[in-house]
Structure formats: structure tokens, C-alpha cells
Amino acid sequence: MRARLLAAIAAFVLPAPVLASGVIDNVNGIALDATGKAVRFGAMLIDDEGKVEKLLPGRYQEPPRKKKLKKGETWPKGPDFKLDGGGRTLIPGLIDAHGHVMGLGLSFITLDLSGTRSLSEAQAKIRAYAAANPARKWIIGTGWNQEAWGLGRFPTAAELDAAVSDVPVWLERVDGHAGWANSLAMRAANVTAATKSPAGGRMEMAGGKPSGIFIDKAMDLIQKAAPPPAPKDRDIALEKAQQALLANGVTGIADMGTSIEDWQAFRRAADRGALRVRIISYALGLDNMVMIAGPEPTPWLYDDHLRMGGLKLVLDGALGSRGAWLKADYADAPGQRGLELIPSTQMRNMMSRAAMDNFQIALHAIGDAANSEALDAITELVQTYKGDRRWRIEHAQIVDPADLPRFGQNGIVASMQPAHEASDWRMAAARLGEARLKGAYAWKAMLDNRVPLAFGSDVPVETPNPFIGMATAMSREDGEGQPAGGWMPQQRISFEAALDGYTRQAAYAGFAEKKFGSLIPGQRADFVIIDRDISVARPSDIRSTQVLETWIGGKRVYMKGVKP
């Protein structure tokens, strides 16, 4: 079965020319210039290298032909193919500036609890999965969220035992910063009441015993015993991830935390011509950076489809598991301020180790203390490491308002995920209180401070659909239109800025702006044809945008309704 699937992946090519010039005509085209301003066009010429040759303001006109040819003359060569867009809207291919490619793919082939809305619903789904997969030695899954369940606390091992008790079960929280284990999984990992939480992690206790919840680095206590995905599973997961991204108009993604196993899956796909999405890779720690890239960032590989250019470091956890590192106690958990996952000196040493070999640094920082620490570290390191570094701060969710202007210094890129605000605004208020959230999810403030603002999804934590993020950035409302008028509406941004964040700026954040992102001549012809003009649509309507076609490098790689 696997051989048939991989053969189908390799053979999947929707009708499109190979190394052929062409014209995409009769479109409502929206591109971006070098400053992020929208540029309108009616047709696009593509050269035989799959790059944008020219944008035409109106319809394409065939080259004129002379009535008579002189000796040795030939008719002017026109394009090899022509697509009539039927007046539909064409935009640059969307780039997810922060995602987890393999995490997305594995969510499709393991137990996924992301749609559950109560503990009992999750227990029923876990029970059904176990019954449908009786041969599995472990049940592995993701997606649970006690906040979505209205539980008001973490679930317990006993509640997981009530669903499945005869097989070890290990389920990661939706944000990937906490895990839920049943009693058999803890027994397999030799976790007992005497086990100590590691630095940078927290093992929740109940009655003097482990409760079944492991936060951030404490997750390693269980993960060391859980079986990793096999290479064949990674290959299948990668293809499923690509299908989901392409169907949502995502032509490129920054993979935040690439392991050597992930990288090998990317290379296997590319070797057989099945890597369609462009991946900007950031290594999961120094060991993976050195194993994969060696002494310097890799070049662009496979016609600009794959490159490792940076290092991802995680400074703190997430709000949902109270792992985000705060300057003051959590309002709903006095005495807790989250977790500092990397000691200060060690973090700077790791940043220096990567920077001296010209790797870009991407720092995960969610809490206000973590963001201040990231800003402090960058301020120190720029004294040694000069030039265009584009230091990235990933998430930048809860920021002390006094620190917001500091993002505009030292060439920092704010890599943020609008959909988090729509998911988190109620929880954030409960965790910190409204008075401490003046710098939270502060997109407009970043732009006002002239900070390059790159948008992503943090997939699979949120949906890979960038149109939902775009609508959220413009409205500060969730899918139900709440809160009416937007949460902290002063942080709303324009359509143009939202599109820029998912295209030109997302490419810039990964040193890829000369390759793709804007549809300016010379860039790769990565674009999406959609069912509405999002430049004039209301944010609530942008959420419902349908991708009709996705093209990468001048070739169609997705068409709505056509199965791969």
C-alpha cells in the first residue's frame, strides 16, 4: 500500500507545462511592490524558468505578426501556454512564517483531539481510536485543550485511564507545550512520586503523585519511552501536510524546529520530485543544525524548495499550560510565573554558536519576561555579530508596553500568528487580567515602530488557513465575531498590511524576498487564484475565501475539486 501511495505522490502533476513560458490572462491581479504597496495587474507573463517575467496592467495581447516574412525570419514566439483566469482574483502565494510541517502531517495520521469540546467527547474519541487500532503498542496523539473543554483545570491520568487503560497513551496539548499520559504510559517511563521535574519543566502533582500532566521539558520524561514515528510514517505525513497547505493557498512555510528525521523526509520527497511546498527550515537545537547544515546555512536546494538557514530556540512555554514566562504571577495561579526554558548565559552561548557561522536566530518568546530576555540578548549580541542578521522573535504575544519600541531596534523581525489572538483572548484575560495586556498581540504597534511583521499560523496549533489569520489581523474578532468591534481594536491593521505579512514580509523574515513572495519580475511565479476580491471584502467574508488554484514556479500544483 505504501508503495502505491508514494508512486501516486510522485506522479501527481495537475495539467501544467514543464519548463514552459506562459501567460495568466484576464485576472484581477494583486501583487506587492518593494514597499509592500498593492500593485494591480490584468495579466502575468511567466518565463520558461517558472519566474515572473512581466505584469501587464490589462489583457495580454498576442505579438503582432507581419503579413510577409523575409528570408530567415520566423514568427514572433508567443507563450507556450495561456490560462484565462475568467476575471478571478490572483494574489501572491501565501507564506506561513511560523509552522511545524511534520506536526501538521502527523496530526492527520495519529489521534487528533483538536475538534473535541468536552472531556467526555475526548474520552469517547480516544476509546474509539483504540478500538479501531488494536495492534498499536502506544496510542499517540495531539490537540487536546482543557480551555476549549471548559474544564477549568488540567485533565488527569485517571480520566485518561477511564478511556484506555491497557495500552500506554501519550497525548500532546494543542500548543505542543504539555502532554497528558495515562497510568500505563507513566509506568512504562518509570515515572513515580519520587521523580523530580527537570529544569525548565513542571510535572503536575495530585495527592503527592504525578497527575498525568507534564509541561514543557517535563514532557521528556514520557517522550523518551514513547516510540518515534517511522520514516514511512513521516513520508506519508509530509504528503498530507503538503496537501493541506496547498489547498489553503500556502506555497511556502518556515518550519520552526526541524529535526534530522524531518529533514531527511523533506529530502526524500524532493529527491522523488514530490516536494512542492517551499520550506525555510530552522533547526531544532544546535545538534540538528550541525548535523543537517554543517558549518554554514545550506544553499537553496531543489529549485528553491528547501533551505536550512537558521536555529530555533525556545525561551518559554505557552499561556494555555501556564508555561509562558511572565514578569509577575499568573492572575489565576498565584505563585506561578511560567518557565524559563534556557538559562540566560546558556541561551546567549547557543545564539553565539549559531551566529558565528551566519545562521539566523529565531527565539520563541510568549510571556513578557521571555520577550524582554530575547530583546536583551539580541541587544548584547549585535555588538559582536554585525550586518543583516534579521533576529527573529517568534510569537511576541505578551509584551510589556515599555518593550514594544525595542522591537524596532537592531533589525528585529516580529514573527506573529494572528489566529492565536482569536483563540486566546478570553484565556489571556483570565491568565493575566486586562490591565497587563496593553502590549498583547500588538500588530499595529509593531508596524508603528517600523518592525518587519511576518505572519504565520503555528500550525498544527491553529488552522493552516491564512485567510482566517488575515481576517483576524484586520478585525481582532474570532470566528463568531466576538468580541464585537474587536479585542483591543487599536491593534487592528489594514488589508494591505495583513497581505504583506503573509507574503513579502514572511519571505523577508526568512531571507527569501529575492526568491518569492511578491510576484515582482524575476521572482518565482508562486501564486493563488481565489474566489473573491479580498481587497474589498469584509474580514468576516475573507474568512470564507476558497482557494481555486495554487501554482508554484509557474506550475499548477492544486486545483479545487481535483484529488491528488
194 within a domain of the structure (yes/no): yes
Quick check: 67 pLDDT over 90? no
d(CA 64, CA 177): 62
d(CA 464, CA 460): 7
141 within a domain of the structure (yes/no): yes
299 within a domain of the structure (yes/no): no
**Burial degree of 70 (CB within 10 A; 0-12, 13-18, 19+):** exposed
Task: Work out the pLDDT band at 376, boundaries 50, 70, 90.
Answer: very high
3-state helix, strand, coil in the chain (%, to 5): 30, 25, 45
pLDDT in tens, 489-520: 999 999 999 999 999 999 999 999 999 999 99
298 within a domain of the structure (yes/no): no
Same domain, 116 and 59: no
pLDDT in tens, 136-159: 999 999 999 999 999 999 999 999
Q: What is the mean pLDDT of the chain?
A: 94
Domain count for the chain: 2
Print the domain residue range for 209.
104-223
560 within a domain of the structure (yes/no): yes
**Cis bond upstream, residue 483 (ω within 30):** yes
Task: Work out the pLDDT band at 16, boundaries 50, 70, 90.
Answer: very low
Quick check: 241 pLDDT over 70? yes
Instruction: Please report, rounded to a whole number, the percentage of residues in the chain having pLDDT higher than 90.
Output: 91
**Which residue stretches of 329-401 are H helix?**
344-355, 368-381
Question: What average pLDDT score do residues 258-264 get?
Answer: 98
41 within a domain of the structure (yes/no): yes
Tell me the CATH number at 537.
2.30.40.10
Same domain, 161 and 52: no
Same domain, 88 and 131: no
pLDDT in tens, 319-342: 999 999 999 999 999 999 999 999
Kind of pairing between the strands at 89-92 and 392-395: unpaired
Which is higher by pLDDT, 292 or 10?
A: 292
Final residue before a domain boundary, out of 206, 223, 240: 223
Same domain, 217 and 108: yes
At 24 the three-state DSSP class reads strand
Same domain, 111 and 219: yes
Final residue before a domain boundary, out of 223, 241, 267: 223
308 within a domain of the structure (yes/no): no
Same domain, 89 and 108: no
Question: What average pLDDT score do residues 528-544 get?
Answer: 97
| pLDDT for 263 | 98
Same domain, 22 and 117: no
Quick check: 3 pLDDT over 70? no
Same domain, 85 and 115: no
81 close to 64: Cβ distance less than 8 angstroms: no
Same domain, 87 and 108: no
Specify the length of the chain in residues.
564
| pLDDT for 78 | 72
Final residue before a domain boundary, out of 203, 223, 243: 223
Same domain, 88 and 122: no
Question: What average pLDDT score do residues 410-415 get?
Answer: 98
Same domain, 200 and 164: yes
Phi, psi of 406 (to 5 degrees): -70, -20
- Kindly report the number of other CB atoms within 10 A of residue 413's CB atom: 26
Same domain, 45 and 118: no
Tell me the CATH number at 188.
3.10.310.70
36 within a domain of the structure (yes/no): yes
| pLDDT for 163 | 97
